[in-house]
Amino acid sequence: MTSWKTLLNRSYVPYSRSPRACAVVGQSGSIYYGVRIESASFPLTITEYQCSIFSCLSTGDKPVRLLLPADSPAVPALWTDTYKLDVRFAGELPDLPAGVVQLEGELDIASKLKSLQEYCVVGESKFPVACVIKTGQGRFISGVNVELNDWQAGLCAERIALAKALASGVSTFHEIHITAAKGDFISPCGACRQVLVEHMPYQKVVLYHPDGTMSEHTPAGLLPNFFNGKSIIS
């Protein structure tokens, strides 16, 4: 069973040094973990609420309960109001089955990317995007884009996959595969390029374009002369 201490230690907080965590229980009865993931570009920081709620939604589950450590700050109304969450402070995390994060077995990546698009929450853009990250352990973690009426609160597929990985204790990555159903040339947005370059700067980015072609890149190649935050820490 995962403890609050273990979960808090999975936070990526090199700038604030203030780890934060929460967990969401889905309608299925599964639990989805969330941690704070900071970016050198501070506004791109992923909150623990985004991490856990979007992890739940990205599997097709519905978030119903938000669990917090006893000393957590107040939850922004955006999350409780949007998803009608039952908020509870928990001394210990419950022993519930973990929501599916890592995909097991051999994977037909192109087919999986296509099937994942049914979980996208894209009421605003109508532009579904799906991705899978291959971890250092050779497993795959999926992500789809999730939007809210408040456009700034949603996250792209790439950042959701990365957040799910970090919250589950994975921190090494080999490659990421990305597709979208529309457009001529699929490519991560600027925000995703910044976050990816902070965690896997020279690993492979494989783009699956709507016309059936593919192209390979790296986050550093997609974001030349990137800012990595070393100046902030020093």
Residues with a known catalytic role:
158
Q: Which two tokens stand for residue 219?
A: 């986050």
Specify the 3-state DSSP secondary structure of 41.
Answer: coil
Map tokens 């456009």 to a residue: 151
From residue 108, how far is each of 5, 10, 85, 144 by CA, in Å? 36, 29, 36, 17
**For residues 234 and 90, what is the distance between their CA atoms, to the nearest angstrom?**
36
**For residues 9 and 123, what is the distance between their CA atoms, to the nearest angstrom?**
34
CB-based contacts of 3: which residues, under 8 Å, 6+ apart? 92, 93
Positive or negative, the CA dihedral 206, 113, 110, 107 is positive
Please give the single-letter amino acid code of residue 131: C
Buried b vs exposed e over 152-166: b needs ≥16 C-beta within 10 Å?
A: ebbbbbbbbbbbbbb
